[in-house]
Structure 1
Amino acid sequence: MKGGEVGAMSRRGLGFGLEMKVGCGLRTRSRRVVQDGSMTPIVPETIDGLKQSSWANMPLELLREVLVKIEESESTWPLRKNVVACAGVCRSWRQIMKEIVKVPEVSAKLTFPISVKQPGPRDSLLQCFIRRNRSTQTYHLYLGLTNALTDDGKFLLAARKCRRPTCTDYIISLHADDVSKGSNTYIGKLRSNFLGTKFTVFDGQPPHARAKVTKSRSSRMVGVKQVSPRVPAGNFPVAHISYELNVLGSRGPRRMHCVMDAIPASAIEAGGVAPTQTEFPLSSLESFPSLPFFRSKSNNMDNFMSQPLPSQKDGVLVLKNKTPRWHEQLQCWCLNFHGRVTVASVKNFQLVASPESGPAGPEHEKVILQFGKVGKDLFTMDYRYPVSAFQAFAICLSSFDTKIACE
Structure 2
Amino acid sequence: MSFKSILQDMKGELGSISRKGFDVKFGYGMRSRSQRVVQDSSLAPVDAFKQSCWANMPPELLRDVLMRIEASESTWPPRKNVVACAGVCRNWREIMKEIVKTPELSGKLSFPISLKQPGPRDSLLQCYIKRNRSNQTYYLYLGLNQASNDDGKFLLAARRCRRPTCTDYIISLNCDDVSRGSSTYIGKLRSNFLGTKFTIYDAQPPNSAAQAVTKCRSTRLVSMKQVSPRVPAGNYPVAHISYELNVLGSRGPRRMQCAMDAIPANSIQPGGVAPTQTEFLHSNLDSFPSLPFFRSKSTRVENFHSGPLSGNKEVLVLRNKAPRWHEQLQCWCLNFNGRVTVASVKNFQLVASPEDGADRQENENVILQFGKVGKDVFTMDYQYPISAFQAFAICLSSFDTKIACE
Q: What is the TM-score of this pair, normalised by structure 2? A: 0.82
| Mapped pair 1:171 → 2:197 | no
CA distance in 2, matches of 1:215, 1:357: 40
Instruction: Assess if the C-alpha contact under 8 Å between 1:16 and 1:55 holds in 2.
Output: no
User: What amino acid is aligned across from residue 104 of structure 1 in structure 2?
Assistant: P
Moved more, 122-131 or 361-370: 361-370
User: For the structure 1 residues 87 and 140, does the alpha-carbon distance in structure 2 shift closer, same or farther, using more than 3 Å as the test?
Assistant: same
- TM alignment of 1:212-223, pairs within 5 A: none
Task: Encode CA deviations 1:84-104: one digit per residue, 9 max, x unaligned.
Answer: 111111111111110000000
Residue aligning to 1:72 = 71
Contact 1:145–1:154 (CA<8 Å) still a contact in 2? Answer: no
- Check conservation: 2:148, 2:374, Cα contact below 8 A: no
Q: How does 1:260-339 map to 2 (within 5 A)?
A: 260-282=260-282, 288=288, 309-310=308-309, 312-339=311-338
Other structure's SS at 2:195 match: coil
Alignment RMSD (CA, Å): 3.2
What residue ranges of structure 1 are gaps of 5+ in the alignment? 23-43, 291-306
- Stretch deviating more after TM superposition (203-212 or 220-229): 220-229
Identity rate, percent: 74
Q: Does 1:122 align with 2:121?
A: yes
- The DSSP-based 3-state class of the residue aligned with 1:380 is strand
2:329 counterpart SS class: coil
Q: Is the 8 A contact 2:191 2:199 kept in 1?
A: yes
**1:287–1:138 distance in 2 versus 1, CA, 3 Å:** farther
Contact kept in structure 2, 1:351 and 1:370, CA below 8 Å: yes
Equivalence map 1:152-301=2 (5 Å): 152-208=151-207, 209-210=209-210, 227-246=227-246, 249=249, 251-282=251-282, 288=288
Identify the residue that residue 8 of structure 2 maps to in structure 1. 8
Q: Distance in 2 between matches of 1:114 and 1:10?
A: 27
Change (3 A) 1:45 1:211: closer
Asked if structure 1 preserves the Cα contact closer than 8 Å seen for 2:231 and 2:283, the reply is: no
Shift of 1:177: 0.9
In structure 2, the partner of 1:88 is 87
Matches within 5 A, 1:351-366: 351-360=350-359, 362-366=361-365
> Which residue is 1:380 aligned to?
379
For residue 293 of structure 1, what is the aligned residue in structure 2?
none
Matched residue, 1:39 = none
| Cα pair distance change 1:246/1:110, threshold 3 Å | same
Aligned twin of 2:150: 151
Please say if residues 247 and 404 of structure 2, whose CA atoms lie closer than 8 Å, have aligned partners that are also in contact.
Answer: no
- Number of aligned positions between the proteins: 366
- Matches of residues 48-67 of structure 1 in structure 2 within 5 Å? 49-50=46-47, 52-67=51-66
> Within 2, Cα distance between the matches of 1:194 and 1:17?
61
Matched with 1:400 is 399
Note closer, same or farther for the CA distance 1:4–1:235 as it changes in structure 2 (3 Å cut): same
State the alpha-carbon separation in 1 of the partners of residues 58 and 155 from structure 2.
35
Gaps of 5+ in 2: 23-40, 291-305
Q: Which sits farther off after the overlay, 191-200 or 237-246?
A: 237-246
Structure 1 range deviating more: 230-239 or 241-250: 241-250
Q: Verify the 8 A CA contact 1:187 1:204 in the aligned structure 2.
A: yes
Match of 2:138 in 1: 139
The alpha carbon displacement at 1:359 in A equals 1.4
Question: What corresponds to 1:27 in structure 2?
Answer: none
1:264-316 alpha-carbon deviations (Å, 9 max, x no partner): 001111111011111112258797599xxxxxxxxxxxxxxxx9633624210
Residues 156, 175 of structure 2: 8 Å contact kept:
yes
